[in-house]
Structures are given as C-alpha cells and as structure tokens.
Amino acid sequence: MAYETLNAVAVTDAGLYAQYRSAMIPLLEAAGGTFRFDCEVSRVLRGDVPDGINRVFVIRFPDRGAKEAFFADEEYRAIRARLFDRAVKAFQVIADYEIGEESL
C-alpha cells in the first residue's frame, strides 16, 4: 500500500523555500516519492498551528518504510537544515496514512 503524509507549513521566505524544494525533489523522486497535492493557502479558518499556515501539501511514498528512509537520509537532512529550517517558521503533520490501490 502507498503511504501519504498531509502537512501544513508557514513559509516565511519563499525564495529559500523554493531552493529547498528544488534541492530535495530529486532525492524524493529517487525514494519513489512525489508531491500529490501542493497548495498555497490564503486563509485559514481553523487550525492547531499557532503561527498560522500558508502552504498545505501531500507527499506520497510507495510505503511507510520509503517515507521513513527518505526523512532519515543524511543528504535530505542536510538540505532541510540549510534551507527548510530557515524558510519555515511552523510545520505540522496533519495526518499520515496508508492508501489502497483503489484510491490511486
């Protein structure tokens, strides 16, 4: 079964965030992952992130192990520390879930 994670972020530096995405996408794709949805949010009516959010996205992986391996990868972690951590003031995983083949 495929595995997805639904995430919300508050991006404060769009330029650095674009650099982060550009640097991490080849690693994501090599791990079998992809962005299924990627949305800029203009208004949040309710949420658990005190600083608010302005971006919501879903990342799909072939399975949970692929997701865990991707986020544990040293090259990814270095990119995240260098760019993501400086470009984002808040990050929240909304949900992690398996998705059946009939939903793909």
- The pLDDT tens digits of the residues spanning 4-20 come to 999 999 999 999 999 99
DSSP string spanning the chain? -EEEEEEEEEES-HHHHHHHHHHHHHHHHHTT-EEEEEEE-S--SS-S-TT--SEEEEEEESSHHHHHHHHH-HHHHHHIIIIIHHHEEEEEEEEEEEE-GGG-
CB atoms within 10 A of CB 14: 12
* Predicted local distance difference test score (pLDDT) of residue 6: 97
* Predicted local distance difference test score (pLDDT) of residue 64: 96
Are the C-beta atoms of residues 48 and 70 closer than 8 Å to each other? no
Domains of the chain by range and CATH? 2-43+51-93 (3.30.70.100)
- The pLDDT tens digits of the residues spanning 85-100 come to 999 999 999 999 999 8
User: Buried b vs exposed e over 18-33: b needs ≥16 C-beta within 10 Å?
Assistant: ebbbebbeeebeebeb
Q: What does the alpha-carbon distance between residue 32 and residue 11 come to, in Å, rounded to a whole number?
A: 25
pLDDT band at 84 (very low <50, low <70, confident <90, very high): very high
* Predicted local distance difference test score (pLDDT) of residue 100: 83
pLDDT band at 39 (very low <50, low <70, confident <90, very high): very high
pLDDT band at 102 (very low <50, low <70, confident <90, very high): low
Q: What is the pTM of this model?
A: 0.88
